[in-house]
Structure 1
Amino acid sequence: MLEASASHQRDTVDETSLLLPGSSTPSLGGDSTSSKPWILLVTLLAIGVAATDLGSFLAQPPKTRMYESIVCLRYYERADPSKIQSNGVIPEELCKINAVQDTVAMIFGWQDLWDALPGIFLAVPYGVLADKYGRKWILALGLIGAECSLLWIMFVCYIQLPLVLTWLSSAFLIIGGGPLVIVAIMFTMLSDIVPTEKRTIIFVYVAASALVAELIAPVLSSILMKKGVWLPIILGAVIEGLTILIVLFLPETLHLRNSGPRETPGGKEQHPVQMASEYSSKERSGFKAQIQKLLDTLKVLKRDISLTLVILTFLVNRLGRQSGDLLLRYSSKRYHWTIQKAALLLSIRAGLNLVTLLVLVPVLSMIMIQWFSMSPQRTDLLISRGSVIFTTLGFFVIGFSPTPALLVGGLVIYTLGTGFAAAMRSIAVFMVGGQTSHDIARLSATIAILESLGMLLSGPFLSFIFRWGMKLGDAWLGMPFLLSGMLFFLITVITYTISLRDLNAAQTPPSATEDIPSPVHSP
């Protein structure tokens, strides 16, 4: 269940700190090394993040195979019972037919929608509770809900109930709010305790721990699946259960907030988490007040057309990138691979993402700023344009790839665009006036709303497109990736409508805008 939000985690948290305006990657060595109690807590949180992702991605391939085998058995019981072996198992190669894969795609597509609903509707209430009663208890609740969700799926599959009953697993996510709340609380706890000047690098390290888990889990899962599908699923559930115990041993961070303040334009100093909390606490009582707060949040879209287009790219980005969740089933169906073999693609993707996020994007950003003396605005603009072009090309190559080698090549090209979300967030921050703007919290909330909407719509929509492609024939199995490529082509056009004048004008007082030179359009 949590693996469904892993790409969302990377886009919304991992990458955002890599390209913050005017910042380079900080070093951990600037502070006094005498007493740093926060380091132990950060280490425990990083272990918790890694363990959560390890358990989730460990269970993903066998869960997919289990769904496939159950649907396959039901199909051949009606269509051709002679294909059923004496032990009641259908050979996996017989389960790649359209009738089976269509049902599996439908189950997963609607599951994504149901899983997204609790986080969208309960993120604010649980955020308020976390501000009032403490972070760790809300985090523990979220992990308990996720564990119960996985256990329900295991129960349905074990006694071979109709797979549509797995959708009820989403109801358990009401306990704690699901993946979106879990991720938000984890990084809020980090923000509470990590010194401001070290927050960027710590966020990167914690994000890297999740990617390392994603790198290891599919390989381990593939090995364990040789013994059957239940061993990796049970191990994943045990690891997620151990994460709950880790959280219970964490100290509460609500009252350990880092004293490093941030100065607002009015001269008043505020902690970033306090600013977000104050914003979310305004008008938070009553249904009408919640609707009004939502409308107030979306007012940032009226600021100017360029900012509106930039923010809307996050909706399109989320819709497009969710097609990555189809990679396992797409490769298995297209190349007639076993799920066990296709799972290795997830490790390849994680490894490439790790290199891109921790090496390529930071190094490229540093070279452009330090060697070529480019402004942070120009750097982010060029990186966003390059990233979205790579992503677009990657999707088209994956969608059209007739051979596994070409698919891996498309995957490499696709991951070169991983820095897009970070660059666009940085550009959006510039366009509302920079890090000291009063609109930062509203901007973040608007982006979160649009990304959540993208997650909500993408599951059933991409599932429908995948099923449609199967009906058209093997050559069109990559339809979800081709559609994502077209969506990212639209984003490419949007990035080329943004000029440095837009970014400079956003941070220049109205009286000074007359002095801005003519627009500079980066190639």
Structure 2
Amino acid sequence: MLEQTPLLSNIDDEHYNGVLSETVGVDNAFQAAQRDTKYSSVSSRYVLQLCVLMLIFNFTQYAAYAPLTAVFEDIICTHYYSSNFHHLPLSQRDCKVIPVQYELALVKGYKDAFSQIPSIFLSIPLGLLADRIGRKPVILLFLLGIFLNDTWVKVVCIFPSQLPLRLVWFGPVLKAVGGGANFGTSMLFTAVADVTREKDRVPAFLKLSAMEMVVQIAGAPLVSTLMSFNNWYPLGLSSILLVVAGLIAILLPETHPQPRGTILVSPSTVYGQASISGHNEGVQLADSYFQMFKKVVLRSYTTSGDLLKNPGILLSLAVFLLAAWGAHSWALLLQYVSQKFKWEFSTANLLFSLRCGITLLLSLLIIGAIDRFVQQKLGIKSAQKDLLLSMGSCILIIVGVTVVGLAQSSILMVAGVVISALGSSLLVSFRCAMIALFPQTPVASLNAVTAIAESFGILISGPVLAAIYSWGLSQGGIWTGAPFLLASGLHILALAIIFYLRLTRTPVQVSALLERQGS
């Protein structure tokens, strides 16, 4: 009852009807605003929790990167001189000689390549499993696999006399528990997509990706300082923080809107009949989970086949593959700068801090402002806007890595690092574009195949870049930067694909897909 409601039941007053409709409309708008506010609050809290997890995980990886490179080089150098020049004093040993640097590039290259194998073969099954049982269990498995691999690599380094250094190549077998780093990262992005609207997705993705930048800005001075005392201090810290990341993941809420873990498992199969003993119930339960996993694996091949039949998705995956291949050239930056400009690893490590400081500014301020300008002022929406941002980012990366590869002075090299950092939002904006371009595809499955594409890119890049870098060292001059020149060419191909998608995947086509999905 309202203040304007007449006492008589026969209501023909037009004034009353108008007031009533206005009041109800205001009330509905107020309730909608309340729902939006509540949704925004819950969404922001979930995104914050996922950002904290991403922050800690990235720090564990970053804190181990430069120290492991230094430890690898020291082990290889010691073995090289003890085998060939055992009489040479330690003070006269030069670890920057080509044989040592070649072996270092080879060990790191194949280690990074083999690390991608779990993501390639398990991303689709685990992505479908995440759609069935939720994101949280899969994220926990991913962290467990990372911890086991990390522990194995450090054990090999602790016992270099008993264990050949190349045994680190077998660490990725342990990553298979959870699909590897690329798949785990894609699951965190999937969880963010679960709790955000499409219009808020780019800022949320940028916040998540910015955690890597925060780590490298704040972590570089800390890691470099710890390395000045002992390379094992940051390595020990990374192991501790991996455990902390696992504990935080246990406290995460489930973000999947409707986990369907029970769909593939019938109650009679899981719980058994009342007459079945406890032992038989356990056997039935194990068998039910085996059957569920079998169905998920079989469906994964069907799903991946269906996705790859779509030319647009196939081209999008090619962008991820090329960009990941090219971006992996930065894995050689420490070695490249140390060899060419005679920088210490602890000093060269600060380049990542510089690069990520610019990327963080880009993620938190510049890209957000450009995103609003393109949407509000230019009226370009959704996928077309994200494709434009991707193209601009790709151009900056092409210019930056070319400068780094051709630089003959450290100042010019640093300028190239800065320019390339301005394009570091490439895969974030393109991921958003792909989700908008293919709205009928489940987000988890789409992110899973992108993880596979990125893994393939890194799998190829590891051995290829190591071989190209070794060839460049033997040639000397500008050719020492050959991996970065290759990265420039790969990004040129990626730019051509993005431009083609922008021409062919028009807003009208995307709107039509959305309408068909709604109907």
Compute the TM-score of the two structures, normalised by the length of structure 1. 0.76
Report what 2:182 is aligned to.
Answer: 180
Report what 1:347 is aligned to.
Answer: 353
| 1:299 equivalenced with 2:309 (yes/no) | yes
The more displaced of 465-474 and 223-232 is 465-474
Offset from partner CA, 1:61-80 (integer Å, 9 cap, x none)? 11100000000011111232
Structure 1 residue identity aligned to 2:59: L
Report what 1:97 is aligned to.
Answer: 97
> Whole-Å Cα distance in 1 between the matches of residues 57 and 463 of structure 2?
25
> Whole-Å Cα distance in 1 between the matches of residues 294 and 509 of structure 2?
30
| 1:48 equivalenced with 2:53 (yes/no) | yes
Distance of aligned partners of 1:314 and 1:80 in 2 relative to their CA distance in 1, 3 Å threshold: same
The more displaced of 105-114 and 126-135 is 126-135
> Whole-Å Cα distance in 2 between the matches of residues 372 and 193 of structure 1?
28
Partner residue of 1:323 out of 322, 329, 341: 329
Partner residue of 2:225 out of 223, 227, 243: 223
Distance of aligned partners of 1:341 and 1:83 in 2 relative to their CA distance in 1, 3 Å threshold: farther
Report what 1:11 is aligned to.
Answer: none
Conserved? CA contact 2:127–2:445, under 8 Å: no
Report what 1:148 is aligned to.
Answer: 148
Offset from partner CA, 1:452-488 (integer Å, 9 cap, x none)? 3212212112111111111212431111100111222
Structure 1 residue identity aligned to 2:230: G
Conserved? CA contact 2:203–2:368, under 8 Å: no
Structure 1 residue identity aligned to 2:216: E
C-alpha displacement of 1:128: 4.3
Structure 2 residue identity aligned to 1:465: I
Report what 1:387 is aligned to.
Answer: 393
Conserved? CA contact 2:114–2:169, under 8 Å: yes
> Whole-Å Cα distance in 2 between the matches of residues 467 and 354 of structure 1?
33
Conserved? CA contact 2:123–2:449, under 8 Å: no
Higher helix proportion (structure 1 or 2)? 2
> Whole-Å Cα distance in 1 between the matches of residues 219 and 309 of structure 2?
42
Conserved? CA contact 2:73–2:100, under 8 Å: yes
C-alpha displacement of 1:162: 1.2
Offset from partner CA, 1:399-455 (integer Å, 9 cap, x none)? 0111111111001111222233344445555655xx4x4587776555444333212
SS in 2 for 1:176: coil
Give the alignment of 1:476-515 within 5 angstroms.
476-497=479-500, 500=503, 502-504=505-507, 506-507=509-510
Conserved? CA contact 1:430–1:503, under 8 Å: no
Report what 1:249 is aligned to.
Answer: 251
Report what 2:516 is aligned to.
Answer: none
Structure 2 residue identity aligned to 1:299: K
Report what 1:466 is aligned to.
Answer: 469
Give the alignment of 1:203-282 within 5 angstroms.
203-253=205-255
Compute the TM-score of the two structures, normalised by the length of structure 2. 0.76
C-alpha displacement of 1:397: 0.4
Conserved? CA contact 2:202–2:429, under 8 Å: no
SS in 2 for 1:177: coil
Distance of aligned partners of 1:35 and 1:400 in 2 relative to their CA distance in 1, 3 Å threshold: closer
> Whole-Å Cα distance in 1 between the matches of residues 411 and 372 of structure 2?
33
Distance of aligned partners of 1:508 and 1:151 in 2 relative to their CA distance in 1, 3 Å threshold: closer
Conserved? CA contact 2:56–2:242, under 8 Å: yes
Distance of aligned partners of 1:252 and 1:495 in 2 relative to their CA distance in 1, 3 Å threshold: closer
- The alignment-based identity, stated in percent, is 30
Distance of aligned partners of 1:311 and 1:229 in 2 relative to their CA distance in 1, 3 Å threshold: closer
Conserved? CA contact 2:308–2:314, under 8 Å: no
> Whole-Å Cα distance in 2 between the matches of residues 108 and 180 of structure 1?
17
Conserved? CA contact 1:76–1:84, under 8 Å: no
Distance of aligned partners of 1:62 and 1:474 in 2 relative to their CA distance in 1, 3 Å threshold: farther
> Whole-Å Cα distance in 1 between the matches of residues 73 and 153 of structure 2?
14
Report what 1:69 is aligned to.
Answer: 74
Report what 1:264 is aligned to.
Answer: none
Report what 1:416 is aligned to.
Answer: 422
> Whole-Å Cα distance in 2 between the matches of residues 116 and 377 of structure 1?
29
Give the alignment of 1:441-460 within 5 angstroms.
446-460=449-463
> Whole-Å Cα distance in 1 between the matches of residues 252 and 316 of structure 2?
38
C-alpha displacement of 1:174: 1.9
Distance of aligned partners of 1:287 and 1:380 in 2 relative to their CA distance in 1, 3 Å threshold: closer
The more displaced of 357-366 and 421-430 is 421-430
> Whole-Å Cα distance in 1 between the matches of residues 48 and 226 of structure 2?
28
C-alpha displacement of 1:383: 3.1
C-alpha displacement of 1:389: 1.9
Distance of aligned partners of 1:43 and 1:491 in 2 relative to their CA distance in 1, 3 Å threshold: closer
> Whole-Å Cα distance in 1 between the matches of residues 258 and 431 of structure 2?
28
Conserved? CA contact 2:58–2:211, under 8 Å: no
> Whole-Å Cα distance in 1 between the matches of residues 366 and 419 of structure 2?
13
Structure 1 residue identity aligned to 2:102: D
Conserved? CA contact 1:392–1:414, under 8 Å: yes
Structure 1 residue identity aligned to 2:304: L
Offset from partner CA, 1:303-322 (integer Å, 9 cap, x none)? 6xxx7555533322221111
SS in 1 for 2:374: helix
C-alpha displacement of 1:154: 1.4
Structure 2 residue identity aligned to 1:371: K
> Whole-Å Cα distance in 2 between the matches of residues 430 and 197 of structure 1?
10
> Whole-Å Cα distance in 1 between the matches of residues 102 and 378 of structure 2?
52
Q: Aligned pairs, how many?
A: 448
C-alpha displacement of 1:83: 3.9
> Whole-Å Cα distance in 1 between the matches of residues 216 and 435 of structure 2?
30
